[in-house]
Structure 1
Amino acid sequence: MSNIQQLKEKSKFIRCETLKIHKIAPETRVASSLSPIEIFVSLYYGDILNFNPKDPRDNNRDRFIISKGHGSISMYPLLADVGFFDKNELDNVCKDGTFLGGIPDPIIPGYETVNGSLGHGLGVGCGIAVALKTKGNKQNVVVLTGDGELNEGSNWEAIMFAPQHNLDNVTLIVDYNKVSMLDFSKNIINMNSLNDKFKAFNWNVYEIVDGHDVEEVYSTLKEAIKDRDNKPKVVIVNTIKGKGVPFLETHSLSHILSVKPDDIDTLIEEIQNAD
């Protein structure tokens, strides 16, 4: 599926389903999970990633590492929708006996890595990329981080490592939503001029101005991931934390806030009726 209108409809669907999950499990990090939805939709419904729901560990798959795991609850309805597991499991998020917890891990079909402690996804991705290149394999390694996560020094070790080893099979996607756990990111460690920072480390840099314009997201990610000229690639995606929930979109503490259950049905209706 790569029709832009279809991708828009899937983005609405995943946003609504994410809110439904949050109603069931209010401990989930909903604001952080709403910002990367168009990224996920473009990768999976836009035929950018190679994956196999019937065999999640298929050797031919591209590796998608979601380093900001807590902020990817929106992946649950997507993975169920494309066939990784039964959709009925979505009714059990964070309940006893389910594999769908508040922080995802590899027990979930479709997840590659443990994602609880931030800052490690890119390093793990670089290791996988080296192994694939050593074997002569052509699969892509795609890593998603948040901008707040880039405060972790381990990321910058990997950012130095990747270009030295010509890891052009690595694409880093930065969910640049500009809100960290306890404040706006600029008040903690200002990540302005991310483009220049990555260029200085010899990465090819792409930027998406509107991370909720699925056409821009889709076309840029498709171009970046197929780019192979001996350099790793970074796609800086300007997003809105809590997209679709007005009070979260502007709140400095959106990362740790929950949406009242009584408000969720109204929000879903507004999203479904939006152009």
Structure 2
Amino acid sequence: MADFGMVDKCSDAALQIRRDIIDMTYATGNTGAHLGGSLSMAEMLSALYVGRLRYNNENTEWEERDRVILSKGHAALALYPAMVQAGILEREQLDEFKKNGSLLSGHPSLNGLRGIEFASGSLGQGLSLGVGVCLALKRKNNDKSRVFVFMGDGECDEGSVWEAAASASHFGLNRLVAIIDTNGIQYDGETDAVLNMSPMGEKWKSFGWDVIELDGHNVEALIDAYDMKNDKPFVIIAKTVKGKGISYMENNWRFHNSRLSKMQYEQAIEELETIL
């Protein structure tokens, strides 16, 4: 069970991640950013990066480190602030998000940025990458590292996801953890309307995975899930709210990818400051 001190630390980090998401988006001006699906991931990223990630800031090539793959790469807007909370990036670096020449691009890129090991953003590819990384670790007899793959529920429409799921089970990759941000909304609309994949948990079980379904905004539940030991590949189906934390963004598809006016920005900051 996660201790209360760690739960509080991760919860505070999630709130700061949301504040950073709003600040970074507003700073992009007319460019905007992927707000909704980044805000929904704050707790699942803080619970990992602050609570449970095996990473050595003094030795970024440490063989026993965990690997993180942000398959839903458009949520880099949430990933970078989480890395700040873990001490991997410096807070000042967030000011460079999406600027010309910046290492903090709209999707994770292999451009030398500390803590980013995998480029991503082409949906449906991250789990296959995770399978390959796990196979490599297994052949090196590395039973310490885990591979965490963050995905979106809309991303699970992709057939490549299920090819990777079958492969992970076939090869017995019990160090592979998939976390699905199940916020119910994708770019084209509600996920059930675009392509109904329910019941999601039963589908993963049928592919030979261990499955847990939980509240993706419950830090304690997330930490406990990250602590689970499994004999099979493991998927966490995290039920979340798109745009979580900002009243006018919650469950609003218009903020899947959007810019912020001055009034919208000020309202968002005011709402977050009542919690921070």
TM range (shorter): over 0.9
* CA distance in 2 between partners of 1:3 and 1:77 (Å): 18
1:41 paired with 2:46, answer yes
Q: Does 1:247 pair with 2:251?
A: no
TM-score with structure 2 setting the length: 0.92
Picking from 166, 175, 186, the partner of 1:180 is 186
Which amino acid letter does the alignment assign opposite residue 79 of structure 2? Answer: M
Residue 116 (structure 1) shift: 2.4
Work out the CA distance in 1 between the residues paired with 2:36 and 2:173: 32
Partners of 2:180 and 2:68 lie apart in 1 by 13
Match of 1:198 among 193, 204, 221: 204
SS at match of 2:178: strand
1:7 and 1:81, CA in 2 relative to 1: closer, same or farther beyond 3 A?
A: closer
1:81 to 72, 79, 85: 85
2:233 counterpart of 1:232: yes
- Are 2:32 and 2:260, in contact at CA under 8 Å, matched by a contact in 1? no
2:25 aligned residue: 22
CA drift of 1:152 comes to 1.1
CA distance in 2, matches of 1:179, 1:55: 39
Instruction: Give the whole-Å Cα distance in 1 for the aligned partners of 2:116 and 2:196.
Output: 30
* Letter of the 1:22 counterpart: T
Conservation of the 8 A alpha-carbon contact between 1:56 and 1:84: no
Shift of 1:251: 1.9
When normalised by structure 1's length, the TM-score is 0.92
Aligned partners of 1:250, 1:272: CA distance in 2, in Å?
21
Aligned to 2:70: 66
Tell me whether 250-259 or 160-169 shows the greater mean CA deviation.
250-259
Distance (Å, rounded) in 1 between the aligned partners of 2:239 and 2:259: 23
Q: Distance in 1 between matches of 2:221 and 2:263?
A: 34
Matching of residue 143 in structure 1 with residue 149 in structure 2: yes
Matching of residue 91 in structure 1 with residue 90 in structure 2 = no
Letter in 1 for 2:24: I
Cα deviation for residue 87 of structure 1 reads: 1.9
Distance 1:93 1:191 in 2: 34
Whichever residue aligns with residue 213 of structure 1, its letter is N
Shift of 1:192: 1.5
Letter of the structure 1 residue corresponding to residue 245 of structure 2: G
Which amino acid counterpart does residue 201 of structure 1 have in structure 2? F
CA deviation map 1:190-246 (0-9, x unaligned): 1221111011111100111x21122222222222xxx132x1110000011111122
Q: CA RMSD in A?
A: 1.7
**Distance in 2 between residues matched to 1:81 and 1:251, nearest whole Å:** 27
Q: CA deviation at 1:111?
A: 1.8
